[in-house]
Amino acid sequence: MPGFTLEPEQARWCAELRTLAAERLRPLADKGEPGRVNRPLLAALGELGLLERLFTSGALELCLLRESLAHACTEAETALALQGLGAYPVLRSGSAPQRERWLGPVRAGRAVAAFALSEPDAGSDAAALALRAEPDAGGWRLTGEKCWISNAPEADFYSVFARTGEAPGARGVTAFLVPADRAGLTGRPLDMLSPHPIGALAFDGVRVGADDLLGEPGRGFRVAMDTLNLFRPSVGAFAVGMAQAALDATLAHTAARTAFGGTLADLQSVGHRVAEMATRVEAARLLVYAAASAYDGGAPDVPRRVAMAKLLATETAQYVVDHAVQLHGARALVRGHLLEHLYREVRAPRIYEGASEVQRTIIAKELYRQEAAR
């Protein structure tokens, strides 16, 4: 993809996805209850083959998929992405029986997956996990809490990261697949600004065994980071999709809205602001595509590139949506308006899967590591 210009086939696929999201998925999303898993929407994503594409796509195709869905239906995009985030550790590190049991239902939209990494006192510093996995009769018992977990407490299974203590810090973390009906596992929903489901989980001596391991003991942090390295650039794609939707709405509004003897578009201050919004969206899109292409190509600097992509795209989306609201005025704040919806949606991506401050830390660390290697 020279210069990161989409091939005609890719452009057609993106257009088809936007139409599909608007015509087939948007009505199902509108019928859903905010803060709850929308199982009919998930079933439709499975029926349309989009969940299957989630697991067979490279990073760039995943970005195109998420950006296109986000443009017309953020709920569909988020439902799809959360299936990938929760199930990707099983795809990459799970045993054959685990993959056979869970991945088919996830692809079909019948089973809901969740990625359980964050804790009340371990968000950005993921290596500071406190959930304990204590040895017990050839297995472990999980004791502690998880918090800010998307799809909790309604998921059917969780990719859970706990401290088994083989070494301090990240080297003492192990990944487990924990079905939601496991004894001792309870959860509660959290009432959040974002409209998708988020909850907290409590582990009261939850029994896990060797059959529940995702990968090897003490290697769970790598399982988590492999997942995040794939999904971080596509979080940027989600942000770009939202930003483009806000920009499109702004262009239509300012071209038609009369004020001061003309349209808003006739005002230089408005034109300049729209130009800035459009330039930032395009820059973010290109950086996301570049990072995804680097991931697909096995480039050695993927951590830096994906951190840059997520940072720029999510910060850009916040900027663009905020300015779109400003140019629309009070109408954009009415409940149910596209921009009111985007204004609530756009804030969270700057925090989850590594806050903007964490991305800057990763970028700086990688730059100085390269400098030291010269």
Residues forming the active site: 353
Inter-residue contact 318 to 350 (CB < 8 Å): yes
DSSP conformation letters of 8-63: HHHHHHHHHHHHHIIIIIHHHHHHSPTTS--HHHHHHHHHTTHHHHHHH--HHHHH
Q: Which DSSP letter does residue 128 get?
A: G
In whole angstroms, what separates CA 342 from the centre of its chain? 15
Which one, of 286, 174, 168, lies nearest residue 222 by Cα?
174
Which one, of 91, 161, 98, 99, lies nearest residue 131 by Cα?
161
d(CA 366, CA 357) in angstroms, rounded, equals 14
Torsion of CA 16, 22, 25, 29, to 10 degrees: 150
d(CA 72, CA 66) in angstroms, rounded, equals 11
Q: Is 145 helix (H, G, I), strand (E, B) or coil?
A: strand
* Rounded to 5°, angle at Cα 113 from 108 and 117: 160
Inter-residue contact 20 to 41 (CB < 8 Å): no
CA separation, residue 136 to residues 94, 309, 321 (Å): 22, 43, 51
d(CA 338, CA 344) in angstroms, rounded, equals 10
Which one, of 175, 104, 167, 112, lies nearest residue 146 by Cα?
175
DSSP conformation letters of 165-209: -SSSGGGGEEEEEEETTSTTEEEEE---SSSS-EEEEEEEEEEE-
Q: Which residues pair with 119 in a beta bridge?
A: 122
